[in-house]
A and B are shown apart, each in its own frame.
Chain A
């Protein structure tokens, strides 16, 4: 059975700390891995990773994929209270007719204290 596992499930840090969120996966057909941030409603897209070892970066957030070991990490440096959210990892599984099925992990709930 395809699955995506995220750890830790929750995390509480203080502003300025650096955090690392983990996502491991076991899927039959892998196309890409995506990270989303979900604050209160709809998830918003952060990164899409398809190639091993290439870091994607956006401001204080960065992510990297290891296709050999089947995992990805999301790093947030100098955390701020606005980073408090649930971070979701998803893996795309291509279907036979050209679109994708998404397999989501349970998410990591991050709380950043002032």
Chain B
């Protein structure tokens, strides 16, 4: 089955720890995105990547880092510099040059204890 997977589904972290969220897609899409969603709010863009080995900051990149070493994978690291990391994180992908519809993964809910 083609799609986007995110792991883990739930993640708990102590303050001061870095944590990495996984996002993998087998849709052969070029572009991948990370969003953060807080209660009562829409999706805010953290980082996006249009091709391998390239990525751009979104609107709220501070305290986050990403890599794009493979087309299929776009992991997000939430660093200890992120002051309020508890949120729902969504990964999405898009076929470059195709339709505008993003495909979303199931999300990871991160809670900082």
Whether A98 is near chain B, meaning CB under 8 Å from some CB there, is yes
Q: Once the chains bind, are B50 and A34 in contact (CB under 8 Å)?
A: no
Closest to B49 in A: A99
Partner of B44, one of A32, A48, A97, A104: A104
Verify if B31 is at the interface (C-beta below 8 Å from A).
yes
In angstroms, Cα B30 to Cα A6, docked, is: 30
Docked complex Cα distance between A90 and B102 (Å): 11
Give the number of chain A interface residues (Cβ < 8 Å). 28
- Residues 24-47 of chain B, each 1 if its beta carbon lies under 8 Å from chain A, else 0: 000000110101000011111100
The answer to whether A107 touches B99, judged by C-beta atoms less than 8 angstroms apart, is no
Q: With an 8 A cutoff between CB atoms, is B96 at the interface? A: yes
Q: Is the interface of A mostly helix, strand, loop or mixed?
A: strand
Q: Is the CB of B94 within 8 A of A99?
A: yes
Assuming A9-B40, A45-B101, A107-B42, is B96 touching A98 (CB within 8 A)? Answer: yes
- A residues with a Cβ closer than 8 A to B are 4, 6, 9, 31-32, 34, 41-45, 48, 88, 90, 92, 95, 97-107, 109
Q: Can you name 6 extra interface pairs (CB under 8 A) apart from A100-B31, A104-B43, A106-B42?
A: A31-B100, A41-B107, A99-B30, A102-B45, A104-B42, A106-B41
